Chain A
Amino acid sequence: MFQKSYNIFIKDIKSELRTRYAINALVMFILVAISVILFSIGNEKVNSDLTAGLYWVVIFFSAMSGLSRAFVAEEEKGTNLTLQLIASPDTVFTGKLIFNLILTFFMNIVITFLYSAFFESFYIKNPALFILTFVLGNIGLAISSTIIASIIAKAGAKGTLYPVLSFPILLPLILTCVQLTIFSFDGTNFESVFYELSIVVSYNIIMITVSYLLFDFIWKD
């Protein structure tokens, strides 16, 4: 199954490179959002708690602007039926999840790079914890965004519905990741953040399980 899912991912990458649906929207959103934050801060000194919060705010809204494309593009082009006729639901979901994982990592690496370049307070004292938070947070974000995208792709007001539906589902993940990012700025050791890390790992396990169980019903009208 993984090979077939990988081929869906390759198809999406090729399609994305030709149409530039998601990448352009994402890059522009990241640049605009960070510029607005920088202009509004001006010469103010921002503490690390606020920096961590703003960092995840940009990540959340960037995800909202780009990650829905995985399914919305198929729906808008009318190719959903083609995909239903050539692959099983699990294969489709895995393919779309790989695409969103790659896009999330690409997007958040760019955001992290820009934050470290422009925000003085973005100073990481525990890099291992930051990387672990980054990886687990991105996985959770990609899983949730993919299943929510598959739901909203069938709806009329896709643009507004996506962040509205995503917010309550992503809230536990984002809040915990903000907390873990603050800890990584403070240099807190791993033993002290076990509880928060357990929340993120459990969230990811629950979301991936629920997604695979639900997707059959969502995919088949």
Chain B
Amino acid sequence: MSNYKLEIKNLSKIFGQRIIFQNINYSIHSNFVLGISGSNGSGKSTLVKIIAGVLSPTKGHVNHFVNGEKIDYEKLFNFIGFVSPYLILYEEFSAEENLKIISKIRGIKYEAEYIKELLAKMNLYSRRKDIVKTYSSGMKQRLKFIFALMHRPNLLILDEPTSNLDNEGKESVYSIIKDYSLKNIVIIASNEEQDLAHCNEILFLEKYKSQ
């Protein structure tokens, strides 16, 4: 089991005069599924982006540790898998080209067997050589899961993971969450009851609007 720890300390985000959330404190370890819930515009996506290190907080810190050692911001992307509706892959390339290019940019080996397995699991193997532009929104969402899992991250962040997916796709996602959370941390930002049912704990953002 990977020994991963996520520590959120006094985290606040303010856009102009608007307080999105403030003073969030949380600490979680591997083998944990954290849900983030809140009404539209409550800051779910903002919070997961801050946790992923792609957005700066106004106040506070998010620290990531692996085996007790703090991970540098420069190397953080190697430990995180991220899926969201606003994540867009390179549509001018095919799924396979995207995954190969991404492996090269990450500086990791393209694990052909593992990726073949993921493509088959997400029902995209037969369409792997097609340009992503020709994919439906559900297929693009499935591809994002392969993108998020291909480097075997320790922290899997899923923002509205089942949006655009059919029932079969949703089942694949729930199976990924179940398997992946055994050894890693999974964060799910969603308002769907079915999604949040897989969480050990749920963080309600409304509670952090004003304190």
List the B residue with the shortest CB-CB distance to A216: B73
Task: Determine if A85 and B82 form an interchain contact, defined as CB atoms under 8 angstroms apart.
Answer: yes
**Chain A residues within an 8 Å CB radius of B55:** 220-221
Closest Cβ of chain B: how far from A41's Cβ, in Å? 41
Indicate with 1 or 0, residue by residue over B97-115, a CB within 8 angstroms of chain A CB atoms: 0000110111100000000
User: In the bound complex, what is the Cα–Cα distance between A221 and B16 (angstroms)?
Assistant: 14
Query: Is A3 a contact partner of B107 (Cβ separation < 8 A)?
Result: yes
Instruction: Let me know if B105 and A81 touch, CB within 8 A.
Output: no
A86-B105, A87-B106, A221-B56 as given contacts; A11 in contact with B90, CB under 8 Å: yes
Say if the beta carbon of A198 comes within 8 Å of chain B.
no
Residues of A contacting B53 with CB < 8 Å? 220
Find the A residue at minimum CB distance from B81.
Answer: A85
**A19 near B92: Cβ-Cβ < 8 Å:** yes
CB of A187 to closest CB in B, whole Å: 47
| Partner of B88 from A14, A79, A88, A89 at Cβ < 8 Å | A79
Bitwise, A143-182 to B at CB < 8 A (1) or not (0) is 0000000000000000000000000000000000000000
Using Cβ atoms and an 8 Å threshold, which residues of chain A touch B107? 3-4, 7
Tell me which residues across on chain A come within 8 A of B106, comparing CB atoms.
4, 86-87
Q: How far is the CA of A18 from the CA of B94 in the complex (A)?
A: 12
Cβ contacts under 8 Å, B88 to chain A: 77-79, 81-82
A49 in the interface, Cβ–Cβ < 8 Å?
A: no
Determine whether A112 belongs to the interface, using a CB cutoff of 8 Å to chain B.
no
Shortest A151–chain B CB gap in Å is: 16
How far is it, in angstroms, between the C-alpha of A8 and the C-alpha of B87 when the chains are bound?
A: 18
Q: Which A residues lie within 8 Å of B52 (CB)?
A: 85
Taking a contact as CB atoms under 8 Å apart, the answer to whether B93 and A14 are in contact is yes
Q: How far is the CA of A19 from the CA of B176 in the complex (A)?
A: 35
Judge if B75 is at the interface, Cβ distance under 8 Å: yes
Query: Is B90 in contact with A77, judged by CB distance below 8 angstroms?
Result: yes
Q: How would residues 50 to 89 of chain A score, 1 for a CB under 8 Å from any chain B CB and 0 otherwise?
A: 0000000000000000000000000001110111111111
Q: CA A8 – CA B92 in complex, angstroms?
A: 15
Contacts of A196 in B (CB 8 A): none
Q: Is B89 an interface residue (CB 8 A)?
A: yes
**Interchain CB contact under 8 A, B75 and A11:** no
Whether A15 sits at the interface, judged by CB under 8 Å, is yes
Q: Which residue of B lies closest to A81 (CB)?
A: B87
List which A3-37 residues lie within 8 A (CB) of chain B.
3-4, 7-8, 10-11, 14-15, 18-19
CB distance from B144 to the nearest CB of A (A): 9
Which residues of chain B are within 8 angstroms of A79 by Cβ–Cβ distance? 88-90
The distance in angstroms between the C-alpha atoms of A85 and B98, with both chains bound, is: 14
Known contacts A3-B107, A4-B105, A90-B74; A85 and B80 CB within 8 A of each other: yes
Q: Is B104 within 8 A of A77, CB to CB?
A: no
Taking a contact as CB atoms closer than 8 A, the residue among B77, B92, B147 that contacts A84 in the complex is B77
A85 to B54, CA, bound (A): 8
Asked whether B91 is an interface residue with its Cβ less than 8 Å from the other chain, the reply is: yes
Name the residue on B nearest A16 (C-beta). B92
Option from B49, B86, B89, B105 in Cβ contact (under 8 Å) with A7: B105
Q: Which residues of A contact B (CB under 8 A)?
A: 3-4, 7-8, 10-11, 14-15, 18-19, 77-79, 81-91, 95, 220-221
Binding site for A on B (CB under 8 A): 49, 52-56, 74-75, 77, 80, 82, 84, 86-93, 101-102, 104-107, 147
24 contacts between A and B (CB under 8 A): A4-B105, A7-B101, A10-B101, A10-B104, A11-B90, A11-B105, A15-B90, A15-B92, A18-B93, A77-B90, A77-B91, A79-B89, A81-B84, A81-B87, A81-B88, A82-B87, A82-B89, A82-B102, A88-B77, A91-B105, A220-B53, A220-B54, A220-B56, A221-B54
Q: A11-B101, A81-B86, A95-B105 are in contact. List 11 more A-B contacts (CB 8 A).
A: A15-B92, A18-B92, A18-B93, A77-B88, A81-B84, A82-B88, A82-B90, A82-B147, A86-B105, A90-B74, A220-B54
